[in-house]
Structure 1
């Protein structure tokens, strides 16, 4: 009988990498597709072979030209843009939230990146649209909670 799945340790041994590397890749959306059954992670053999065949290159420069960044642009990962803006991290990490709010982002290969200036401009438009619709941005100072709209309004210029 042919084996149809590989566990994390078997794949790490096959590729001579640490299981921690595979764990990090999964959190970043890299590596072969996997299945999670309860706490156990397994990789279908076909997915491993497919990933390996896509990784084959004839030269080192083949993939480098795929990503072209605008000049003078510094792209940030979700954690960095969350820290800079003071907005919750989930706004940037969850695809549904990004799409629902229209947060500007770029896909750099399999990673999502944000331009600080674009995000600040988006936030200003978002607050202005809310104010145009009659939604008040002011919040009670004695209140411990802060709405998303208030957080957007308090972004630095």
Structure 2
């Protein structure tokens, strides 16, 4: 008769990890699905095999970059969107700055991606709001550095 379940000690031994790691994974919602019967935790064999097959990778970069965006997609990384808009890279890479400015973005697994059209629409709204509030964003002639307001105002309408 083939075994249909494994307890946490058997699974930990199979993967050469501590049973405490499996306990932590359960509390974090990671690892294979499990069943709890009274105080006993068991893992169905098919769930273990599914988890192991999903963990297979051909290279180390696959885990975050295996997302394929559709052809014609206007999603870009922070560096690309910074180059296209002419805005400083830090406003796209720093979460607090992105959130404070209300920059639209998408999370694709662990990656942050920006839709070019959404970001340009956001920048135009931001620039228009600054003008409506009477904020003068013209750079001084001898100034080599632009403020964020000046950079946003210089975007083509």
Q: TM > 0.5 between the two?
A: yes
In structure 2, relative to structure 1, the CA distance for the partners of 1:123 and 1:70 (3 Å cut) is farther
User: Where do 5+ consecutive residues of structure 2 fail to align?
Assistant: 1-15, 34-49, 57-66
1:70 CA displacement:
7.9
Q: Secondary structure at the match of 1:140?
A: coil
User: Where do 5+ consecutive residues of structure 1 fail to align?
Assistant: 1-13, 15-43, 61-66
Q: Which residue of 1 aligns with 2:73?
A: 73
TM-score of the superposed pair, with normalisation by structure 2:
0.56
Q: Secondary structure at the match of 1:145?
A: coil
Q: Which residue of 2 aligns with 1:31?
A: none
Q: Which residue of 2 aligns with 1:118?
A: 118
1:51 CA displacement:
5.8
Q: Which residue of 2 aligns with 1:152?
A: 152
Q: Which residue of 1 aligns with 2:12?
A: none
Instruction: Give the Cα–Cα distance (whole angstroms) in 1 for the partners of residues 71 and 102 of structure 2.
Output: 24
Q: Which residue of 2 aligns with 1:36?
A: none
In structure 2, relative to structure 1, the CA distance for the partners of 1:51 and 1:87 (3 Å cut) is same
Alignment of 1:26-65 (within 5 A): 45=21, 53=32, 56=51, 57=53
- Runs of 4+ off more than 2 Å: 44-55, 67-73
1:79 CA displacement:
1.2
1:73 CA displacement:
2.9
Structure (1 or 2) with the larger CA radius of gyration: 2
Instruction: Give the Cα–Cα distance (whole angstroms) in 2 for the partners of residues 93 and 145 of structure 1.
Output: 20
Q: Secondary structure at the match of 2:82?
A: helix
* Contact residue 104 and residue 122 of structure 2 kept, 8 A: yes
Instruction: Give the Cα–Cα distance (whole angstroms) in 1 for the partners of residues 154 and 142 of structure 2.
Output: 17
Q: Secondary structure at the match of 1:113?
A: strand
Q: Which residue of 2 aligns with 1:85?
A: 85
Instruction: Give the Cα–Cα distance (whole angstroms) in 2 for the partners of residues 111 and 120 of structure 1.
Output: 20
Instruction: Give the Cα–Cα distance (whole angstroms) in 2 for the partners of residues 53 and 125 of structure 1.
Output: 46
Q: How many residues align?
A: 108
Residue deviations 1:73-116 (CA, integer Å, cap 9, x gap): 32001111111112111101111011000001011122110011
In structure 2, relative to structure 1, the CA distance for the partners of 1:98 and 1:48 (3 Å cut) is same
